[in-house]
Amino acid sequence: QKEVEQNSGPLSVPEGAIASLNCTYSDRGSQSFFWYRQYSGKSPELIMFIYSNGDKEDGRFTAQLNKASQYVSLLIRDSQPSDSATYLCAVNGGTGFQKLVFGTGTRLLVSP
């Protein structure tokens, strides 16, 4: 079982719609959860982080965490073509939870 799993996509949504990206993780002890956005050929950049169960909102982005279900998601409201990118879920893990373990990413396509 992979430590962090994401659907590779592509997830296609029309401009203005809500994009929902999902991620599951295997290590119940994980405490920190991150969403990174990566444009093709560029480096990942942090979008959101969440540590506690529930929702965390930042502008058009909402991260949702459910530790009981080992599930974290990212909602993007009012999706824009510039949101088209690969979204990487990352979870802390490893001995002492010092590692950051990445999923393989979900490719999002927002059509005008």
Partner 1 sequence: EAQVTQNPRYLITVTGKKLTVTCSQNMNHEYMSWYRQDPGLGLRQIYYSMNVEVTDKGDVPEGYKVSRKEKRNFPLILESPSPNQTSLYFCASSPTGGNTEAFFGQGTRLTVV
Contact residues: partner 1, CB under 8 A: 8, 31-32, 34, 41-46, 49, 88, 90, 92-94, 96-105
| Closest approach of partner 1 to the CB of residue 17, in Å | 26
| Closest approach of partner 1 to the CB of residue 42, in Å | 7
| Closest approach of partner 1 to the CB of residue 110, in Å | 22
Distance CA 82, CA 100 (A): 26
What separation in angstroms does the CA of 29 have from each of 17, 39, 103? Answer: 34, 30, 17
Considering beta carbons, is residue 17 or 102 the nearer one to partner 1? 102
Considering beta carbons, is residue 17 or 22 the nearer one to partner 1? 22
Considering beta carbons, is residue 17 or 100 the nearer one to partner 1? 100
- Strand pairing category for 45-50 and 33-38: antiparallel
Considering beta carbons, is residue 18 or 46 the nearer one to partner 1? 46
Distance CA 93, CA 110 (A): 32
Cβ burial 62-94 (10 Å sphere, 16+ → b, else e):
bbbbebeebebbbbbeebeeebbbbbbbbbbbe
| Closest approach of partner 1 to the CB of residue 56, in Å | 14
